[in-house]
Structure 1
C-alpha cells in the first residue's frame, strides 16, 4: 500500500468519525427536546417546571421550562444564565458568573418575570440557593476556598438577605452557636445548605471539629442550635415535620460518601431513602411525598426523584437538567 493510499484512508476514517460524533450529539440533544430561544418565561406558571438546562449548545446553563406532564418535550429557554437557582412565591435567586475581566460571581434576586431586583457582587463559587416559602428571604452558600464537600479542605460562606428591604446577613458565622446545650465557638466553623421554615426560622448544616450537624436557626435572635449529627444539605418538607438530607455513610476516600436519608423532626428517627447511589445535592421536595435530586448524566446532570419515606424506586424525570422548581 502506498503512502498516498494510507493517507487517504486515514483522512476518510477521520471524516467518518467526526460525522458519527456529530450525529450522536445531535441525537442526544434531540431526545431532550429543542429549546425555543428567548421565550418569555414566568416563574410559578401552573403545569411548568423551571430548571437549569445542562445540554451543550447556545442554551447551556440558561433557565428553561418544560411541561410537567411531558418533561421530555420541547423546552422554552429564558436567556437567563445561572449556576445555581431557586424560586418561591414571586422571588427567584440566581447565582451566576459576573461578566468582567477577572472571573467573579454574583447573587441576583429576580421577580417572577426574571427582572433583576437586587444584586450582590463577589459572592464566591456558587454552591446552594434557597428562597423562603413567602418569597421574602433568600439564602445562598458559596465556596470561598476549595470547591467540594467531599473532603475537608474547603471553606464556605452562607448569606441571607431580606429581598424587601435589602437587609443582608453576610455570614451565618456571626451567629451565636449553641452546641449540645452549651455556647460554642471555634475557628473552623462552616455553614451551608439553608432551608427555610418561615421568615424567622430555618435549618442548615454546621460543620466543626470534623463533624457535621443539623442546626435550627433563628434570624431574629441571631442564634443556631444543634439538633442532630451527620446531616448535610437539609431540605425541609412542606409540612415542616421532616428533612431529607445527605448522610455520610462511607469515607470521603471512597469517592461516594453520601446517601439520602429522612429525619423526622419530632422523633429524630432516621430513614434511608430507596436511592442507594451517592447524591451530592440539596434535595428538593416536589410536593406530596417525593423529593428530587441530581445525579451525573451525559450532559453533566440528570434529575431523579424518589419517595421520601424509604419506599419505591428512583426514577429519572428530567434529562440534562439541574435545580428544578416545580
Structure 2
C-alpha cells in the first residue's frame, strides 16, 4: 500500500476529507458513531491523523489552550484543589478536541513557555498580575479567561468564587457557638510565614484576601480576639508548620478558620498529636469541601465550592472566547461568572470549651 492520507481514509469510509479531519480535530462536530467508524478505519489503514504542523497552517490555529498556573507545575499538582479543578477543566474540554498546554508562571522556562508554546487562548489560574508569563500572553493578544482572580487584561473573562459570603458564614457559625478567640490561617504575603501583628493585613492573592475579608466582616463587629497566621502556600508542609505555630501559642484560640481543607486537616492532625480533641478542645473550619473534608476524622465543617461546575464554566468561557476570534464572528462581551459557596456543618466544630 502506498502512503496513507486523509483522502485514503475518506475514500474507505465514504465521507469527505473534512469529515475525517473533524474526527481527529473537532470531534464535537460528528456523531459518536460516525467518529468511531472513521477512527476504526484510520487505525486499520495505519493512519495516525493529520500532521500537527500542517494542521496549524491549514486551520490558522493551534487547536490547544494554555493553562497558566500559580507557581511551578509541581506545586500546582500537589495542591489538591488545583488538581481537582484542572481535572474538571480537562474533562469539559475533551469533547472539543482542544489540547491543553500547561504553563508555569514562575521559575525556569516561564518566559519561553508563554512566549513560544502554540495555543489559541489561555486560562490564567490564580497568578500574580505582574508575572512575565502573563505579560507574554497579553502581548500575543490571546483570548484570556481568569480563574480565582480578578481579570487584569481588558476584555478578558473571569470565573470567580463568591468567597466572602462563604467565609462570613463560617465565622458567624463559630461566633454562634460562643467562640471569641479565633485564629485565621491563610496564605502569606511574600515569604513571611508565621504569626502576624495585625490580622487585617493577612492574605496574599485574590482568593486569600477575599476569604480574610469575609471572616473579618463577621469577627470584627462581634469584638472577637482574632489571631492571624500566614503560610507560604497551600501545601502540606506549610500547613503543618502553621498548625504547629497556632497550637504552640500560650493563649491558644478555641477555634480556627482555615484557607482550605488541606490546612484544616493539618490543624486536626497537629491537635491530635498534642492530645487535643476536635471539636471538644478546638473547633476547626475548612474551605472547599474537597474529598479530604469528608474522609478525615472528625468530618470537616467547611465551605463548599463546586469544582466540577467551576471547571466546566471555565471551559465554556474559553470556547466562547475562541468562537469570537473566528473570521466573521460577531464581537462578544467578556463573561464574568461568580460561583456560589455554601457552609456545610459537620463534626469538627462545637461549642466553646468550658473554662470551669
Q: Higher strand share goes to which structure?
A: 1
Q: Higher helix share goes to which structure?
A: 2
Higher relative contact order (CA 8 A, sep 6+): 2
- TM-score for both structures, normalised by structure 2: 0.24
